[in-house]
Amino acid sequence: EAGVVQSPRYKIIEKKQPVAFWCNPISGHNTLYWYRQNLGQGPELLIRYENEEAVDDSQLPKDRFSAERLKGVDSTLKIQPAELGDSAVYLCASSRRDPGQETQYFGPGTRLLVL
């Protein structure tokens, strides 16, 4: 079974520029998560999708961050404009919805550096 795929793996941009991250979840996983991981910290949730619906985006900075999950499969996370404090690793994870099978599997992440 293929794992969660993310691209790009690395991105370096200047502040105020836009940036986008792409995620393809594990086949059959209805739930998709975007997390942000700062250096030396655990991941923190930004947004969760159930199929194509964003059901938990309370931690997403909506003034500059946006996300979409068209057709309930792939997802894109966008930052516009980027700030220095956005430098972090952006992780995508996916899981099934069935009780007892909700383990989240993570992709390799996109490492963003804002200069």
Partner 1 sequence: EDQVTQSPEALRLQEGESSSLNCSYTVSGLRGLFWYRQDPGKGPEFLFTLYSAGEEKEKERLKATLTKKESFLHITAPKPEDSATYLCAVQAGSARQLTFGSGTQLTVLP
Q: CA 68, CA 81: separation in Å to the nearest integer?
A: 17
43 binds partner 1 (CB under 8 A): yes
The candidate with the shortest Cα–Cα distance to 31, out of 80, 101, 108, 88, is 101
Give the H/E segment covering residue 49.
Answer: strand 44-50
Residue 44, interface with partner 1 (CB under 8 A)? yes
Number of H helices and number of E strands within the chain?
A: 0, 11
Instruction: Name the one range near partner 1 by CB under 8 A: 13-21, 37-45, 62-70, 73-81.
Output: 37-45
Binding mask 63-92 for partner 1 (x = CB under 8 A): ----------------------------x-
Instruction: Find, among 89, 93, 79, 91, the residue nearest to 111 by Cα.
Output: 89
CA 101/CA 45 separation, integer angstroms? 19
- Give backbone dihedrals phi and psi of 6, rounded to 5 degrees, phi first: -130, 150
Q: How far is the CB of 71 from partner 1 (least distance, A)?
A: 21
109 is an interface residue for partner 1 by CB under 8 A: yes
Q: Which of 14, 56, 68, 83 binds partner 1 (CB under 8 A)?
A: 56
Using CB under 8 A as the binding rule, whether residue 21 contacts partner 1 is answered as no
Please report, as ranges, the residues that interact with partner 1 according to CB under 8 A. 4, 31, 33, 40-45, 48, 56, 91, 93, 95, 102-109, 111
